[in-house]
Amino acid sequence: MPVLVMKFGGTSVANLDRIRRAAKRVGVEVAKGYDVIVIVSAMSGKTNELVGWVEETSPLFDAREYDAVVSSGENVTAGLMALTLQEMDVPARSWQGWQVPLRTTDAHASARIKEIPTDNINAKFAEGMRVAVVAGFQGIGPDGRITTLGRGGSDTTAVAFAAAFGAERCDIYTDVDGVYTTDPRITDKARKLDKIAFEEMLELASLGAKVLQTRSVELAMRYNVRLRVLSSFEEQSDTAGTLVCDEEDIMESKVVAGVAYSRDEAKMTLLSVADRPGIASTIFTALSEAGVNVDMIVQNISEEGRTDMTFSCPINQVARAEQAMDEARNAGALNFAELLADKDVAKVSVVGIGMRSHTGVAAKMFRVLSTEGINIKVITTSEIKISVLIDRKYMELAVQALHDAFELDKAA
């Protein structure tokens, strides 16, 4: 029988009534002839509660025990979902990560998936099981200890299972009814997309759109897993939601697919750095080793052997970046006059695969921002993305103006 993967996020399984509603959706797909693999998250708020208990018990916690505790939320949901399906006379059983076994690296709290053997679950399907309810977010490391994949890891679990089992599709059920051209909370003109290319979704996810975890989109693109993002609270149909698929599956798309933003950004500038070979490596190696996630990078024109280096990072990593630069200077590896931190900026980006074959997107974007009186602090581009750093107070205005200018409220 064909296999379908269905993933339910925390809000979709927040209580027993919602678990029953989700189980009914699974039952509909079983009736269509699918063998279904259901990936479940912990009930809404449960993971945060478990993390809080760990931190209260042991501020400098053992990461292995952290994983043992926080993974338990998914185990509860998986068991409850399996019981609910059994009450509906659907042959189902629950699976924890180690029972599959979903094998991972030993990086506790941020493990990566190495292998998902299909033998155990396929054997149960052959015996008459119709639904395998798998606890998302978790696996088993080389040492036999429970591991977790990081926050949002159930999305990655679902895509990995779809790839391993050659699933027809991977449906991601959440509390939104698809992928939008921008955040509907910022503009009521935001439009739900019927389809979006993997690359566009990957850029939007990495730029702040929180519909899908970035790693899950990377995995889907690598193994060409067709993803469908849809709401567990809307009427069930084969055309609901947004299909994330290969570019070739989209007949025609607009030049710009969406506008993304990230509110919690900071701009860091190292003043008067020695302009010599290897200086960039010294700076960004120190930041990397300190766990600072650097995004946009700009180097100014050199004057008399000195230059300024600007980069952006999440606002909650500013202190870490400052410490890393100070330590590099104290160790003699780096010399600079001053490190300036601007914590009042936001990143706004336009994304679209159509940029590959159309000119003028950057010019139009900059003209729109200029008309609105918005000054651009930093610019970076890729083949299908243009990002700018602006004052945070103008973020919503910028998103609305760009959404209007590129007419994203209209279909292609």
Say which residue the tokens 């999305």 belong to. 155
**How many C-alpha atoms does 322 have within 13 Å on its Cβ side?**
13
d(CA 60, CA 54): 9
Strands lying side by side in the sheet with 306-314:
297-299, 306-314, 258-274, 338-351, 385-391, 378-382
DSSP code per residue over 283-317: HHHHHHHTT-----EEEPPPBTTEEEEEEEEEGGG
For the chain, how many structural domains are there in total? 2
pLDDT at 130: 98
Q: Are 44 and 174 in contact (CB under 8 A)?
A: no
Give yes or no: residues 15 and 158 share one domain: yes
Structural domain contains residue 244: no
Structural domain contains residue 353: yes
pLDDT digits (tens, 9 = 90+) for 238-291: 778 999 988 888 876 789 999 999 998 999 999 999 888 899 999 999 999 998
pLDDT at 356: 86
Give yes or no: residues 280 and 149 share one domain: no
What CATH number is associated with residue 75?
A: 3.40.1160.10
Point out the domain boundary residue: 175, 210, 245: 175
d(CA 106, CA 103): 9
pLDDT at 8: 97
pLDDT at 55: 93
Q: Are 201 and 258 in contact (CB under 8 A)?
A: no
- Domain span at residue 17? 3-175
Give yes or no: residues 14 and 125 share one domain: yes
Structural domain contains residue 330: yes
Amino acid at 20: R
What CATH number is associated with residue 307?
A: 3.30.2130.10
Angle, CA 358 vertex, CA 354 and CA 363 arms, to 5° = 110
Name the DSSP class of 130.
Answer: -
**348 φ, ψ to 5°?**
-125, 135
The length of the chain, given as a count of residues: 412
pLDDT at 155: 94
Q: Which residues contact 263 (CB under 8 A, 6 or more apart)?
A: 208, 346, 392, 395
Structural domain contains residue 20: yes
Q: How much is the pTM?
A: 0.83
Residues of the chain with pLDDT under 70: 208-210, 252, 412
Point out the domain boundary residue: 127, 142, 175: 175
